[in-house]
Structure 1
Amino acid sequence: MSVNTKRALLPLAIASALVLSACGESTSSNAGPDFNSGSTPAPTPPTTPPTTPPTTPTPSFEQRALLTNLADNVISPTFEQFVQVTGDQMQAVAGYCQQEIAAGQGNATSEQVNTARMAAQASWRSSMNVWQQAEVMQVGPLIGNSGFLRNKIYAWPLASSCNVDFEVINFRTGEINGQPYNIANRAASRRGLAALEYLLFNDNLDHSCTVGAQPQGWNSETEQARKEARCLFAGEVARDLNTSAQELVAAWDGDNGFAVELKQAGSAGNQFGTELEAINRISDAMFYIDTASKDNKLAAPLGLFANVCGAEACPEAVESVYANNSLDNIENNLVAFQKLLTGGEGIGFTDFLIDQGDAATATTMTADVETAISDIQAYQQTLAQTLTDNEAQVTASHARVKAVTDTLKVDFINSLALELPVTSAGDND
C-alpha cells in the first residue's frame, strides 16, 4: 500500500471509528420519562463475586509489527543504500583524482578533469541525500558511544574547513607526530561528508584558516599541487566513509545487531522492557526534524536564533555552504520522517494513532508533512540565495515544518503515551 493510498484511507478510518463507536452504544433508554416505565424490576445483583476475574483487554494494535516494519522496511534499506552510494562515491572520487594527476602530467585535458570532478560531486550529492534520511533514524549504533559513528560520517554542525586544510597536508606527509597517518584516529571535524563537500566543491585553493595556526606555505604552492593534494585526501575521506557505512550496517543488521533488539523488544533479556519503550526510541529519532531541520537548518539562518551574522538572515549560516545542498538536505529529512510516520508500504505510526482513536492527528500530520515537502521542492534558488532575495519564503517554510513538529510534540506524543526526548522537553517553540 503506497503512502498516498494510506493517506486516502485515513478519512475512511475516521468514519469507521465513529460507526464502531455508535454501534457500541446501548439502544435502550436510561433517562427521561420512559426510563424503567412499566418494566420488571431488575434482579438483585449477586452477593458473591464471579469465580473468574475479568481479564484486561488485549490491545488490538501489534506494536511489534510496527517495530518490525520500520526496522526491516524503512531503516535497514536506508542504511544499506548508504553503503551502496558511498561505494560508488569512492570510485567516482578516485576517478576524479586520476584525471587531476594525469592533467598535472600533461595526459588529461581540463575538460576531462572537470567531467570527472562533476561526477565526483554528483556522487557526493547522492551520498548526502541518502545520509540526510539516515539522520532522522538515529537509533542504536548511531547514538551509542555519544554518537561516535554518526559523527565520523557527518559531524555537522561541528565541521571545520580549517581542520580539513591541515588534514590535507597531514595525509600528504603520511605521518603525524612521528606516527603513520591513520584517518581512523582523526577527529570527526576532519573527515566525513562535510570534509568531502569542502574538498570537492570549494574552488578557492587557499586555506580557510583565519585565526590561530595556519598551514604554513600552503598558499604559495602551485595550483596543481594543491588540487592534487586535495583530491588525494578526498579519496581517503571517501574510502573512510564507505568503511563507516559498512560498520553501520554490521552494527544494525548483524546477528546481534540493534535491529534484532528492536524487533524482540519486551522479551526476556532484551534491553527494552516493553515494545512501547522501543517504539519511543524511534519517535525520539523523529524529533531530528524539530531540533535540526526546523531550528538549525531554517530558524538559525533566518536569524530566529543567534548565528554567525548575529540575529538576522544569514546565507553563511546554511548547512551546505559549498555544495548548496541545503534544501535537498531538508527535503530528505522530511521524506525520512514521512516514511517512519506512515510506515511506507507497511505499518507506521499513523496506524498506531488510528488504533488509539486519534485518526485526526494521523490525518493532520500526514497532510502537513506532505505540504512541507512540496514547499521545499518549490524553491527556484538555493537556500542561501533565497535568504537574500526572498526571506519571507524561508520564513514560510519554517512555519510549515513547525506545523508538523508542533503536532509531534503534543498530540502525537500524548495519544501514543510516549515521552518527549530530552532535547525537546520544556521546548515551547
Structure 2
Amino acid sequence: MKYAKALSLNKKLISVALASVFIVSACGEDTSSSSGEGFNNSQDTNTDFDQGKLIASIVDKVITPSYQQFSTVAAAQQQAINSYCEQEVAFSLGDSSAELVSDAKSLAVESWRMAMNSWQQAEMMQLSPLLIGDGALRNNIYSWPTQNTCGVDLDVTYFKAGSVNGQPYNIATRTASRKSMVALEYLLFNDNLAHSCTGSTKPDSWDNQTEQYRKVARCEFSSEVASDIVNNADELLTAWLGSDGNGGYAAKLKSAGTVGSDFATQHEAVNKLSDAIFYLDKYTKDGKLAKPLGLFANECGAQACPEAVESKYANHSITNITNNLQALKMFMQGSLTADEVDALGFSHYLIDVGDEVTANIINEHVELALEDTKNYQASLATTLATDSDKALATHGEVKNITDKLKSDFITSLALELPKTSAGDND
C-alpha cells in the first residue's frame, strides 16, 4: 500500500531529525529592577574576569544552539503531524488502515514531546526577541499559562470552513491561546472529540459530524498550527541571529561595551543573561509547582490540584521542569555539555570573584533537583493526587536554587534582580 511506504519513509526522516537534537527527557520587555531584597547597587565586580567571553560563550554555546535545535524539531513535528493527517484523510477514503493511522499518530505525539523538550530549555532563555510586544513571539510558540481549549475547538471549525467572521482564515492573526504548542497538545493527546465550549458560542454543527470527520478536521488544524510554530521558530532565529548583514540580538549582546552598542558595559549584557534564568523562580517554582500544590490560589482553591499542572493532557509536566533545570545547568557551565573546555558560564564568574561556595551550592542543588524530577514514577498530576508530599519536596529542591540565585548569586556578581523576582521571599 502506498501509504505504508510513505509512512515508513517519514518515520526514517523524522527519526534522523530528532536524533540530531540534544534534549533531556524524563519517567516557558526588559525586566531589570533596581529594587528587591538582595539587590546589590554596585555597578560591576572588581576583577579582571572576561565578561565578554562569558557573554559569547552563553550566546554561542547555549542560546543559539538551543534556538536552532527547536527550529529543527519544530520542522520535524510539522512533518510528523502532516503525515498523521494524511493517514486520517486516507482512512476516511478507505485507502489506509487503523494500524497505519495509529502508527502515524504515535509519531506525531512523539514529535510533540521532542519539540516540547527542546522548547522547555529555550523557555529559560527569554531575551529580547521573545519578550518584545508583551512576549508576542514567545506566546505564539507556547502560550502557557494562557490556554483556551474552546477557542481551539472553534478555530478547528473556522479553519475547516476557511473563514472567520466573514474574512479568510489566517492563523498568523489568531490569538496565541488558540494555537501554539499548547493547542497541539490538546489536539494530539485529548481523544475526546466533543468540543469543550460551555458558553453560548459553540462550534456550529460539530456534534452532528461523524467521528472521522472530526478527526480529520482536528488533524488538519493541527497541521496548520504546526506550520505556524515553524514560522515563529524561524522568526525567532532571524531576530536572534539577524539577516541580510544586520546583526540580531545575539550580536548586540556580544558587542556590549563598544561604541554604539545598546549596552554601555559588558556587565549590563551579563545582567540580561542573568534575568533570563530567573524564569526558574516565577514560572518553574511558582507556576509549575507552587500553584498546582495549592501554595498559591488555583482552580481548586488552596489545595493540591492536578487540573492546575502545566501539561495535563500529555502528562509532560515534570519533564518540562527537568528541561528548565537542564537549561540553568547550561547557563552555569556556559555550554550545552559540561566537557567543553573553552566554555565560560556563571559558575566560572562566581569562582573568579571568590565565591566558589555559591557556585558549588547552586550546581549541587541543580543536580539534586534534576535527580528528583527524573525519579518520578507517575505524572505530576497523579503525584499531586496520590503523594503531594513528593511534589512538595520537588518544590523545595527548586526553591533551594532560586533562594541562592536571589541572594548570594546576584550579590557576588553585582547584578540586579528582575522585577519578577524582586521582593519575592517565598
* TM-score normalised according to structure 1 size: 0.86
Which residue of 179, 186, 201 maps to 1:213?
201
Structure 2 CA distance, aligned partners of 1:159 and 1:189?
Answer: 5
1:306 alignment counterpart: 297
Number of residues of Structure 1 aligned to a counterpart in Structure 2: 373
1:194 alignment counterpart: 182
Structure 2 CA distance, aligned partners of 1:237 and 1:64?
Answer: 39
Structure 2 CA distance, aligned partners of 1:374 and 1:220?
Answer: 49
2:239 alignment counterpart: 251
Matched, 1:80 2:68: yes
Matched, 1:388 2:376: no
Structure 2 CA distance, aligned partners of 1:185 and 1:144?
Answer: 17
Task: Find runs of 4+ consecutive structure 1 residues off by over 3 angstroms.
Answer: none
- For residues 237-290 of structure 1, the C-alpha deviation after alignment (integer angstroms, 9 at most, x for no partner) is 011111111111111012320000000011111111111111111111100111
Structure 1 CA distance, aligned partners of 2:104 and 2:320?
Answer: 24
Within 5 A, what are the aligned runs for 1:84-95?
84-95=72-83
Query: Which residue identity does 2:231 align to in structure 1?
Result: T
1:281 alignment counterpart: 272
Q: CA deviation at 1:191?
A: 0.9
- For residues 309-341 of structure 1, the C-alpha deviation after alignment (integer angstroms, 9 at most, x for no partner) is 111111100000111110110000000011001
Matched, 1:343 2:325: no
1:27 alignment counterpart: none
Structure 2 CA distance, aligned partners of 1:272 and 1:159?
Answer: 36
Within 5 A, what are the aligned runs for 1:16-415?
59-254=47-242, 255-344=246-335, 345=340, 346-415=343-412
Query: Which residue identity does 2:80 align to in structure 1?
Result: A
1:420 alignment counterpart: 417
Q: CA deviation at 1:111?
A: 1.2
Query: Which residue identity does 1:171 align to in structure 2?
Result: F
- By relative contact order (CA 8 Å, sep 6+), the higher-ranking structure is 2
Structure 2 CA distance, aligned partners of 1:229 and 1:222?
Answer: 11
Q: Is the 1:69–1:347 contact (alpha carbons within 8 Å) kept by the matching residues of 2? A: yes
- For residues 342-392 of structure 1, the C-alpha deviation after alignment (integer angstroms, 9 at most, x for no partner) is 213310001110111111000000100010001000001011111111111
Structure 2 CA distance, aligned partners of 1:308 and 1:114?
Answer: 34
Identity score, percent: 53
DSSP 3-state at the match of 2:247: coil
- Which structure has the bigger radius of gyration? 1
Q: CA deviation at 1:58?
A: 7.5
Q: Is the 1:413–1:420 contact (alpha carbons within 8 Å) kept by the matching residues of 2? A: yes
- Unaligned 5+ runs, structure 1: 1-56
Query: Which residue identity does 1:213 align to in structure 2?
Result: T
- For residues 151-208 of structure 1, the C-alpha deviation after alignment (integer angstroms, 9 at most, x for no partner) is 1000100111111001101101111222211111110101110011111111000001
Q: Is the 2:47–2:353 contact (alpha carbons within 8 Å) kept by the matching residues of 1? A: no
Q: Is the 1:68–1:263 contact (alpha carbons within 8 Å) kept by the matching residues of 2? A: yes
Q: Is the 2:239–2:248 contact (alpha carbons within 8 Å) kept by the matching residues of 1? A: yes
- For residues 43-70 of structure 1, the C-alpha deviation after alignment (integer angstroms, 9 at most, x for no partner) is xxxxxxxxxxxxxx98320000000000
Structure 2 CA distance, aligned partners of 1:313 and 1:420?
Answer: 30
Structure 2 CA distance, aligned partners of 1:415 and 1:400?
Answer: 22
Structure 2 CA distance, aligned partners of 1:212 and 1:309?
Answer: 24
Q: Is the 1:342–1:366 contact (alpha carbons within 8 Å) kept by the matching residues of 2? A: no
Query: Which residue identity does 1:382 align to in structure 2?
Result: S
